[in-house]
Amino acid sequence: MKGLLIKDWYLLKNQKQIMIIPLMGVLFVLTGMESSFIVTFFSLLAAMLPLNTMNYDMIDNGFTYLFTLPVSKKTYLREKYLLVFFALLFGICLGFALAMLSCAVSGKKPDYFALYATGLGGLVGVSLMILITIPAQLKFGAEKARIILLIIVGAITAVVVCGYKITERIFGAKIQEGIAKFLSKLPTDNLTAGLLATGVTILLLLLIFGISYFCSSKIMEHKEF
């Protein structure tokens, strides 16, 4: 696995797209961009980079050569998911640092709890997008994987919006009262709410990573190179 991580590190280091990260960071700081957007944007940008290494592996029958080396399919998958995890962690940390710097430059007082909550939500959303893409890319290739991701995200959005509209029409004000009642039972102090949100986020991430890894494992198991 160490050899695969080193290989992908050199691939990432030589990508021209990686220059976008410092340029966008400077731009966002100087323009005083919204802190929550900065965190989400850099999480997504960093997490997308490992997918490019998979594209390189697929070019010119790269998998065929790669698996002639002492590298198993399971080791390859574990390395990719580990790389995505590190990329997400890097993106989140960089996003928080730039958000704090942006607030300092613009003179805004940062809302730490709102920023933390946004970061957790963005982490789950970005993880879901990336971890849908990995098995889809292994199965269908990069181009079709992007289309599948757009279809899935669009379908989820449509189901949520339509479901809420239909429920609201059937139950009327009761649905809003139910939501308000549920929210009123949640912890009001920032520390308890933050710990609860962190716990829920960790469980969601474990579930997302687990399902994605299971699907990718089945795809790789039956894939011929």
- Whether 22 shows a pLDDT value over 80: the answer reads no
| 194-217 confidence digits (pLDDT tens) | 677 778 888 888 888 888 889 888
Beta-carbon contacts of residue 1 (< 8 Å; ≥ 6 apart): 75, 78, 79, 82
| Ranges 16-30, 94-108, 161-175, most confident | 94-108
Give residue limits of the domains in the chain. 2-222
Work out the average pLDDT over 34-58. Answer: 78
| 57-109 confidence digits (pLDDT tens) | 777 677 777 777 787 888 888 888 888 888 888 888 888 888 888 877 777 77
Give the CA angle between residues 73, 76, 77 to the nearest 5°.
Answer: 90
Query: What proportion of the chain, given as a percentage, has pLDDT over 70?
Result: 80
Beta-carbon contacts of residue 44 (< 8 Å; ≥ 6 apart): 91, 122, 126, 129
Confidence of residue 4 (pLDDT cuts 50, 70, 90): confident
